[in-house]
Amino acid sequence: MKQFASSKELFEELKKLKKNAQSIGFVPTMGALHSGHIELIKQAKKQTTHVVVSIFVNPTQFNDPADFQAYPRTIQEDIKLLEQQNVDYLFVPTTQEIYPQSQEQELIDLGKLDKEMEGRFRPNHFQGVAQVVKRLLAIIQPDYAFFGQKDFQQLTIIRHLVKHEKLSVKIIACPTVRNDQGLALSSRNMRLSEAQKQQATAIYQTLLYAQQYADKISPKELKKRCIDRLEKEELKVDYFEFVHPDTLSFLEEQWESDAIACVALYCGNVRLIDNMHITTTK
Ligand code: PAF
């Protein structure tokens, strides 16, 4: 695996591949890699000839400096994992490399997609995500970029970014990877105790419950019941919403044929998010 810190050097290296009509798959990460990331890498390896992974804990997407500091950083373990997966290129830029002082930070038009859910609890988070992804895509210019469905709102926003900026990359969404009890894998799970991991399985159970009762009662009523279930397990809910899969608008009285149940909550002091695709007979 070749490792780069300089965007210019990486760009030059990848240019050679493009000349030879090789395809480039890109997996952006913030490190602390787990099986969810490995799944993205496996997909990238299946669909492209060369895979680039980036590790960059992006400061502009953290609205809470304490959360940024607490974010796990495990670069040596990450490198081992990436080598085991035969990743071709690793990009580990500095903050200065991604955000040069000479370059002014632009505001990216995200429509209304960043206003609710994560956007309400983490103001400017998605501006930060969109800025870093745009910058990384400009450096790497991949044919395909791979994102997990676990961050559903992020995935929707990145699709919007690509369309809005007319970028030529194809975005591939990969299913959420869960542990045996259904807990969605996340770098933040490293901060959960064994008891909390058990407590957090209520999230998946509640999403399954939502799938079972969708259609039978209104989204608004089902949302209340889901929040009650989670709160009974002493999870502190930031939001639980049923949303339209493209516009992310909230469903209240009526179901759509496809909906996404999105949840964010605290288990102890660790904030977790998850979602599930809900199909109805509508
Ligand atoms: O999903 C993540 O890990 C991050 O938001 C991303 C896409 C790597 C941007 O920093």
Task: Kindly report, residue by residue over 30-44, the tens digit of the pLDDT.
Answer: 999 999 999 999 999
Long-range CB pairs of 65-72, under 8 A, 24+ apart, other chains included: 67/271, 70/191, 71/30, 71/32, 71/187, 72/31, 72/32, 72/187, 72/188, 72/190, 72/191
Do 107 and 165 form a contact (C-beta atoms < 8 A)? no
Give the confidence band of 178 by pLDDT, cuts at 50, 70, 90. Answer: very high
Q: Is the pLDDT of residue 104 over 90?
A: no
Q: Which residue has the higher pLDDT, 105 or 47?
A: 47
Q: Which residues pair with 20 in a beta bridge?
A: none
Task: Please give all residues whose beta carbon lies within 6 A of any atom in ligand 1, as ranges.
Answer: 28-30, 58, 61, 129, 132-133, 151, 154
pTM value is: 0.95
Mean pLDDT of all residues belonging to the chain: 96
Distance 57 CA to ligand 1 centre (A): 8
Question: What is Dmax (Cα atoms) for the chain?
Answer: 58
Query: Whole-angstrom Cα distance, residue 209 to residue 217?
Result: 12
Strand arrangement of the beta sheet that strand 258-267 belongs to: 236-243, 258-267, 270-279
Atom of ligand 1 at shortest range from CA of 133: 9
Residues designated as active site:
37
Give the confidence band of 115 by pLDDT, cuts at 50, 70, 90. Answer: very high
Residue of the CA atom closest to atom 2 of ligand 1 = 29
Amino acid making up residue 55? I
Collapsed DSSP state (helix, strand, coil) of residue 176: coil
Give the confidence band of 263 by pLDDT, cuts at 50, 70, 90. Answer: very high
pLDDT of residue 160: 97
Q: Is the pLDDT of residue 229 over 90?
A: yes
Give per-residue pLDDT as tens, 65-74: 998 998 999 9
